[in-house]
Amino acid sequence: MQFYGETLSTRLMLGTAQYPSPAVLQAAFEASRASVATVSLRRESTGGDGQAFWALIQSLGTRLLPNTAGCHTAKEAVTTANMAREVFGTDWIKLEVIGHNDTLQPDVFALVEAAAELSSQGFKVFPYCTEDLIVAEKLLAAGCEVLMPWGAPIGSGLGLNNVHGLTRLRHEFAGIPLVIDAGLGVPSHAAQAMELGFDAVLLNTAVARAGDPVAMAGAFGAAVEAGRIAFDATPIEASDVGSASTPVVGKAFLT
Amino acid sequence: MIRILGAGVAGLCLASELRARGAEVSIQDPAGAPGQHGCSWWAGGMLAPGCEGESAPEPVVRLGATSAEWWAAHGVSVTRRGTLVIAPPRDRNELNRYARLTRGHVAVGAAEIETLEPQLAQRFPAGLYFESEAHLDPRAALAQLASGFDIGMPGEHAAIRTVDCRGLAARDALTALRGVRGEMLVLRCPSVTLTRPVRLLHPRIPLYIVPRGEGVYMLGATMIENDGRGHVSARSLLELLSAAYTIDPAFGEAEVLEIGVDARPAFEDNLPRVTVRGDQVYVNGLFRHGYLMAPVLARTAADYLLSGDKGELLRED
């Protein structure tokens, strides 16, 4: 899988927030085999030295994808992205501009504005968006080469809320890497996203706040893999009528 | 003679434990008596092993269960009124999650909450009650333990052993230690009557509030992976106060008596431990479980120092 010309070894991206301890975080990453770690710049860097935590993140051996979590305006997001580029030494940025405090739904207008500005500054933008086709188009026009539509509101665990919309998005932008970002609760949600043909999934809460984050991370890793294999294997079409896998006609009938 | 470096909750508990077992002890701390310079000062003082099970490693829940008794036995006033955990109706899922991850609670409805904390029943129709939990006033507890000792300046001493209980300052020796920033508030609001620690669940901003008596409440605490001890951030302040306001809008009229910021010393698994490295003994990594786990570490360290026993939370480097 390639994003902005860079090849990733697996299709799972994992967040680094909310784990019970750094040791659990580290073990969860190992179990998940995630190839990308998302990191938030904002809180951990407010005055003081978060070196111990950064050292741990760096030691995960994954590609870092800093985010602009917690930003509510385009300007704020652009500033945060620039700080992140300096701190993490990467021009990858997961662009999050929150428009609604309860659902954490993105403000798509500010998102497009920030994406255009950041692209012009040389950033490789991964925008957290909805399944809206027009927003997707405008983000691509703004310079994004990847889209990250939500499955459901961040942290909700609802899975893929609008399967039809997401399927439509997948068909409409067949050549564009699409990552389901946010809203996944259980591994079957991740498998479903992969079966629909999405290129990767990004999650955090479902693993970090599980009773056993390490076991759950392993389960998500396996589900992403299973889902992708299934997609490549061309699933059968769903049908309204049953068709027996063993034909009745000609079956040995011994009594 | 055993010399203890550091007069925070770790050092004072160990000194008290050793003396109770007949050992001669001296405490050295360049800052003198317990105060604002140490993160023990800013703690909540909850003895809530059941609640901590939501995110803490299992040994904290199991071993911490005996701490309330330890404090009471050392002359510290311990309030045993349990912990009430609530969530706004919208975040009901958080209660279910918390119930699944913890032990020692009963589900309570509006009627039970009305009995426990009448002021909350209107807004919080459901909660979890951890009946066997307790809390104490950290500053009173530190003063009580410290009153038995002359806390001297660090220096050469005719000590047979030295135990390093310096918290985050011991990073010069324990390189695995990191600081986890916490911010807290002390409010005075006589129009609010809460008689036990209350935890408000929220997907992003969990908060607890501990009554200190006479209308004074401690509100805590943020958890930020950063060891900065500078001023509270506007966002943290906003979140803490919003959560207090959610618990009871009457907190809107509270006086803000204190804003505390400090960094908790923690190891990578957030589990406290006694580290033995040659002759040197370290008691550290209490993270957010200072008052819950300091008695456990004190016993572990005393067992090792006096009889060579190596307990569950002891690691040899």
A20, A44, A47 ranked by CB distance to B225: nearest: A44
Place of tokens 């500054």: A121
- Are A48 and B229 in contact (CB < 8 Å)? yes
- Are A22 and B204 in contact (CB < 8 Å)? no
Residue of A nearest to B54 (CA): A211
Q: What would you report as the CA-atom Rg of chain A, rounded to the nearest whole angstrom?
A: 20
How far apart CA B27 and CA B15 sit, in angstroms, is 7
Q: Which of A18, A30, A43 to mutate to test the interface with B (most CBs of B within 10 A)?
A: A43
Q: Which residues of A touch B230 (CB under 8 A)?
A: 47-48
Q: What is the pLDDT of residues A52-83, one digit of tens each?
A: 777 888 888 899 999 998 899 999 999 999 99
What was the pLDDT predicted at B69? 97
User: What average pLDDT does range B110-118 have in this prediction?
Assistant: 94
Place of tokens 């899975």: A159
* Residue B78: strand pairing partners: B136
Contact B261, B302 (CB under 8 A): no
Give the domain B83-131+178-266 fold.
D-Amino Acid Oxidase; Chain A, domain 2 (3.30.9)
Q: Which residues of A touch B56 (CB under 8 A)?
A: 20
- Strand bridging mode A92-95 / A124-129: parallel
Residue of A nearest to B222 (CA): A43
What was the pLDDT predicted at A1? 83
Residue of B nearest to A16 (CA): B225
The domain segmentation of chain B, as residue ranges, is: 1-80+135-172+268-317, 83-131+178-266
What was the pLDDT predicted at A248? 62
User: What average pLDDT does range B70-75 have in this prediction?
Assistant: 96
Give Cβ neighbours of residue B90 (< 8 Å, ≥ 6 apart): none
What was the pLDDT predicted at A111? 96
CATH architecture of B1-80+135-172+268-317: 3-Layer(bba) Sandwich (3.50)
Q: Which residues of A touch B89 (CB under 8 A)?
A: none
Please tell me whether residue B205 adopts helix, strand or coil conformation.
coil
Contact B240, B219 (CB under 8 A): yes
What was the pLDDT predicted at A50? 66
State residue A185 phi and psi, 5-degree precision. Answer: -115, -40
How far apart CA A203 and CA B227 sit, in angstroms, is 27
Distance of CA A26 to the CA centre of its chain: 19
Apex CA A76: angle with CA A98 and CA A22, to 5°? 70
Q: What is the pLDDT of residues A177-231, one digit of tens each?
A: 999 998 999 999 999 999 999 999 999 999 999 999 999 999 999 999 999 999 9
- Token pair, residue A152, equals 């459901």
How far apart CA B280 and CA A75 sit, in angstroms, is 53
How far apart CA B159 and CA B84 sit, in angstroms, is 46
A100 touches chain B (CB under 8 A): no
B226, B231, B271 ranked by CB distance to A44: nearest: B226
Please tell me whether residue A22 adopts helix, strand or coil conformation.
helix
Q: Minimal Cα–Cα distance from B230 to chain A, Å? A: 7
- Token pair, residue B91, equals 């975040």
Checking if the pLDDT of A48 tops 70, the result is no
Contact B177, B267 (CB under 8 A): yes
Longest dimension (CA), chain B: 62
How far apart CA B72 and CA B136 sit, in angstroms, is 10
Apex CA A158: angle with CA A157 and CA A159, to 5°? 95
Q: Which residues of A touch B177 (CB under 8 A)?
A: 52
User: What average pLDDT does range A135-150 have in this prediction?
Assistant: 96
Contact A147, A179 (CB under 8 A): yes
Residue of A nearest to B90 (CA): A102
Q: What is the pLDDT of residues B30-47, one digit of tens each?
A: 999 999 999 999 999 999
C-alpha dist (Å) from residue A239 to A243, B235, B309 = 9, 53, 69
State residue B157 phi and psi, 5-degree precision. Answer: -155, 150
Q: Which residues of A touch B204 (CB under 8 A)?
A: 155
How far apart CA A92 and CA A250 sit, in angstroms, is 61
Give A251's pLDDT tier (boundaries 50, 70, 90). low
User: What average pLDDT does range A113-140 have in this prediction?
Assistant: 96
* Residue A66: strand pairing partners: A39
A44 touches chain B (CB under 8 A): yes
A20, A24, A48 ranked by CB distance to B226: nearest: A48
Q: A124 an active-site residue?
A: no
- Are B268 and A209 in contact (CB < 8 Å)? no
Predicted TM-score of the model (pTM)? 0.85
Q: Which residues of B touch A46 (CB under 8 A)?
A: 224, 226, 228, 233
Give B160's pLDDT tier (boundaries 50, 70, 90). confident
Q: Minimal Cα–Cα distance from B224 to chain A, Å? A: 6
Q: Minimal Cα–Cα distance from B95 to chain A, Å? A: 13
Q: Which helix (H) or strand (E) holds A118?
A: helix A108-120
Cβ count within 10 A of residue B71: 25
In this prediction the ipTM stands at: 0.80
Q: Helix (H) and strand (E) counts for chain A?
A: 9, 10
Checking if the pLDDT of A49 tops 80, the result is no
Q: What is the pLDDT of residues B196-221, one digit of tens each?
A: 999 999 877 789 999 999 999 999 98
Distance of CA A120 to the CA centre of its chain: 24
Q: What is the pLDDT of residues B254-312, one digit of tens each?
A: 999 999 999 999 999 999 999 999 999 999 999 999 999 999 999 999 999 999 999 99
Sequence length of chain B is 317
B97, B226, B270 ranked by CB distance to A20: nearest: B270
Q: Which of A75, A94, A124, A138 is catalytic?
A: A94
How far apart CA A136 and CA A142 sit, in angstroms, is 10
DSSP A115: H
A153 touches chain B (CB under 8 A): no
- Are A49 and B56 in contact (CB < 8 Å)? no
Q: Which residues of B touch A209 (CB under 8 A)?
A: 97
Place of tokens 């390639």: A2
Average per-residue pLDDT for chain B:
93
Q: A252 versus B53: which is more confidently predicted? A: B53
Q: Minimal Cα–Cα distance from A216 to chain B, Å? A: 15
Checking if the pLDDT of A47 tops 80, the result is no
Apex CA A207: angle with CA A205 and CA A212, to 5°? 130
Apex CA B75: angle with CA B216 and CA B266, to 5°? 70
A141 touches chain B (CB under 8 A): no
Q: Which residues of A touch B227 (CB under 8 A)?
A: 48-50, 52
What was the pLDDT predicted at A239? 82
A43, A52, A155 ranked by CB distance to B224: nearest: A43
Contact B164, B173 (CB under 8 A): yes
- In 3D space, the residue among B292, B301, B256 whose CA is nearest the CA of residue B274 turns out to be B301
